[in-house]
């Protein structure tokens, strides 16, 4: 294999309610839909595609693995860099997002805040500590 492991080009998240998840990404991240059909909506985050896939379609994609229920708990977190965590967190709250935690100063030298999307995926905003 050449260029292994390469860049992550796409992440697929299973959405029980695709319409709700799609609207969340439009409203919260202020992104246009890159592609959509009956079972998916794709958004571009820099060089990475986030594919929201209707849970009913997930089995065919991952079989023989099973699709876990959304309420089984978080299994992943994605981090977005921001310049000002406090200002970004306030903006998210203004868009109707409920923060899970933060903004918090972390012992590893960054400030963070976290929230969940309708698929149950945890998103974190992270930036420098205030000077």
Predicted pLDDT at 1? 60
Domains and CATH numbers, the chain: 9-67 (3.10.180.10), 76-131 (3.10.180.10)
Averaged over 16-42, what is the pLDDT?
Answer: 97
Averaged over 75-86, what is the pLDDT?
Answer: 92
CA atoms within 13 A on the CB side of 99: 18
pLDDT over 90 at 89, yes or no: yes
Predicted pLDDT at 2? 65
Give the pLDDT confidence of 29-38 residue by residue, as tens digits.
999 999 999 9
**C-alpha angle with apex 76: 18 to 66, nearest 5 degrees?**
65
């Amino acid at each position: 294999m050449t260029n292994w492991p390469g860049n992550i080009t796409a992440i697929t998240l299973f959405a029980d309610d695709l319409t709700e998840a799609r609207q969340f990404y439009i409203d919260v991240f202020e992104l246009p839909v890159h592609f959509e059909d009956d079972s998916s909506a794709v958004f571009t985050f820099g060089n990475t595609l986030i594919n929201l896939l209707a849970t009913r379609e997930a089995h065919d994609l991952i079989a023989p693995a099973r699709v876990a229920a959304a309420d089984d708990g978080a299994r992943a977190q994605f981090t977005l860099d921001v310049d000002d965590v406090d200002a970004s967190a306030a903006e998210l709250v203004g868009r109707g997002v409920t923060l899970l935690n933060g903004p918090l100063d972390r012992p590893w030298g960054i400030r963070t805040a976290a929230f969940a999307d309708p698929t149950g995926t945890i998103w974190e905003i992270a930036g420098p500590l205030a000077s």
